[in-house]
Amino acid sequence: MSGDVHVRFCESVGVQFPRATHLVMGFTDEEDARRVLAVLPQRLGKYGLAIHPDKTRLISFQEPAKAACEKDAGSGPPAGTFTFLGFTHYWGRSPQGRWVVKRKTASIRLSRALQSIALWCRANRHRPVKEQQQILSLKLRGHLAYYGITGNFRSLAWFRFEVVRCWRKWLNRRNRERSLDWNIFNRLLERYPLPPARVVHSVYLRAASP
C-alpha cells in the first residue's frame, strides 16, 4: 500500500476451513466497517467458511493529521498500526512529505528469525567457514526475498548486522582463545562475504517499468 491511501478503519480477518486465508478490508467510515463485520460470518458460512475469532478485529487506522483533528474535537480514536503477514503497517511521510502507509518487518518476526540464526550458528560453528558462509547467505537471501520491500531497508540492514554479529560470536567460540576480534573477522568477511541488505521488491522500479 502506498500513495494516496487514506484508510480510517480496517478489519483483519482470518478465515478457517477448508483453507486458511488472511485479508484486510479497509473502510473510510466506521459504521460501514461494523456493518460488514456483523454480516460477514453469515455470508462466509454459506460457503462452509468461518471467521477465526482470535484473528478478526476492527481497528482504527487513520492518517495522523485527520486522527489528531478528531482527537482535538473529542471524537474518534488516534491513528494506530497493525501487523499483517509479518509486516507492521504504519503511517509515515513520503519523500514528497505526504502521509502514506508504510511497512516494516514485524518485531516478533525479526526476533524469531534472529533466534533461528543464533541456534544454527551455535550448532554449526565447527563446520568449515566456507560452508557456513554459503548457508548463511541462503538464509539471508530468503529473508530479503520476502521482507525486502520499499521502505523496509532499515529493518533489513539491522537484521543483516545482527546475523554478522551472531556469526562472529559463535565462530569466536570454536576454541578457548577467543582471538577472533572485529579486525580479524572483517578480513574474514572480505573473503567470505554475506549478501548486503537491499530492497528486492521496489515500487519505484515497478512503476518505472513499461
Q: Give the span between the Cα atoms of 24 and 28, in whole angstroms.
A: 13
- 68-77, 83-92, 104-113: lowest mean pLDDT where? 68-77
pLDDT the model gives residue 22 = 78
Query: 10 falls in which pLDDT band (50, 70, 90)?
Result: low
What average pLDDT does the chain have?
A: 83
Please report the sign of the dihedral spanned by the C-alpha atoms of residue 75, residue 80, residue 84, residue 90.
Answer: positive
Q: Give the span between the Cα atoms of 76 and 136, in whole angstroms.
A: 47
The DSSP secondary structure of 3-52, one letter per residue, reads: SS---SEEEEEEEESSS-EEEEEEES-HHHHHHHHHHHHHHHHTTT-EE-
Could you tell me which residue, 31 or 16, shows the higher pLDDT?
Answer: 31
Q: What percent of the chain has pLDDT over 90?
A: 46
pTM of the model: 0.78
Query: 149 falls in which pLDDT band (50, 70, 90)?
Result: very high
